[in-house]
Chain A
Amino acid sequence: MRIEKCYFCSSPCYPGHGMVFVRNDSKQFRFCRSKCHRNFNKKRNPRKVAWTKAYRKTRGKELAIDSTFEFEKRRNRPVKYDRNLMGKTILAMQRVQAIKEKREERFFANRMKDAKKEQKAQARVEIEKGIELLAPAVANREEVMRNVVDKARERIASRKRNAGQKIVSGGGDNKADGMDES
């Protein structure tokens, strides 16, 4: 059982899913689902359809050339079963996968390096455009801030008052008062 790649979207075709179309020149086209198959029938080029891996790789949005891809090539020589070799291969596969993922992440981070700057610039442009919408909100915000500041001032003042009272009378009662007021 071998898990092949879909011709159109490059996703894995698991057994029991999808279809194989065989052309008369013996070329096989595997499809993971009817979406890919239908697109193929419409004669669409996967390199031009935005959601396929082929498109993403040709446009440089994903890691395309890397030494980790060499491990996935199909080798047509059958190897005699050797338990040690099998174990090592499985470990190697896991390691290669981990490395590949790290490299892909790095590629993505590299690609999105300047994203934050651009986002901020775009946000600024949007704010400028919609400054009228924001004006009442800004005024509200200022009012809210003023309220908050006033309330805080009150609280501090009341605490001071209570502290003063405490010194005069002294004891737990004033402490309770203080708690209620704040």
Chain B
Amino acid sequence: KVCDNSGAKTVKCIKVLGGFNKKIAKLGDIIVVSVQKLRNKSKITSKVKKGEVYKALILRTKKKFKTKDGINIKFQDNSVCLITKQGKPVSTRIFGPIPKILKTGKFTKIASLSAGFI
């Protein structure tokens, strides 16, 4: 699922980046995706077309994710936000909560778009 306003609704993971044999991408990882469905309203106004390949950052997973504090966090859905090859977000808004881990480092730009941190 996509939780930003780039116009895509669901995406499909094509590749997990970060190593030659990496099979599983967790929260905070970047994956390569292809757009499957668009949000109905924005077929005309979306920045993204069906079938296009983008990179995506995983924002929320249903699978437990352990912080350095020792807290296990679990979200309600698996969500992603689209990124260009350079690492910049495609969208201008992100919906829903995001873990604090993404506040630092490479993803500050994305984190700044978000509504709330957990």
Task: Please tell me the size bucket of the interface on A.
Answer: 10 to 19
Residues from chain B with a CB closer than 8 A to the CB of A21 are 73-76
Q: How far is the CA of A27 from the CA of B27 in the complex (A)?
A: 19
A178: Cβ under 8 A from any B Cβ = no
Q: In the complex, A20→B76 CA distance in Å?
A: 11
Q: Is A63 an interface residue (CB 8 A)?
A: no
Indicate if A1 sits at the interface (CB-CB under 8 A).
yes
Give the residues in chain B near A20, CB-CB below 8 Å: 71-74, 118
B97, A22: Cβ atoms closer than 8 Å: yes
Residue among B64, B69, B71 with max Cβ neighbours from chain A (10 Å): B71
**A24–B74 CB distance below 8 A:** no
**A15: B residues at CB distance < 8 A:** 69-71
Verify A22–B118 contact, CB threshold 8 A. Answer: yes
**Is the beta-carbon distance between A22 and B71 smaller than 8 angstroms?**
no
B18 at the interface (CB under 8 A from A): no
Residues A24 and B73 in contact, CB atoms below 8 Å apart = no
Residue contact B70 to A19, C-beta cutoff 8 Å: no
- Tell me whether B64 and A19 are in contact (CB under 8 A): yes
| Contacts A24-B77, A24-B97; A18 near B72 (Cβ below 8 A) | yes
A20 to B70, CA, bound (A): 11
Chain A 5-27, CB-CB to B under 8 Å as 1, else 0, gives: 00000000001101111111010
A23 partner residues in chain B, CB cutoff 8 A:
76
A41: shortest Cβ distance to chain B, in Å?
Answer: 11
Q: Once the chains bind, are B73 and A26 in contact (CB under 8 Å)?
A: no
User: Bound state CA distance, A20 and B64, in angstroms?
Assistant: 9
Closest 10 CB pairs between A and B? A16-B70, A26-B97, A19-B72, A26-B116, A15-B70, A20-B73, A24-B96, A24-B76, A22-B118, A22-B75
- Residues of A with Cβ closer than 8 Å to B? 1, 15-16, 18-24, 26, 28
Q: List 23 A-B contacts (CB under 8 A).
A: A1-B69, A15-B69, A15-B70, A16-B70, A18-B72, A19-B72, A20-B71, A20-B72, A20-B73, A20-B118, A21-B73, A21-B74, A21-B75, A21-B76, A22-B74, A22-B75, A22-B118, A23-B76, A24-B77, A24-B95, A26-B116, A26-B118, A28-B118
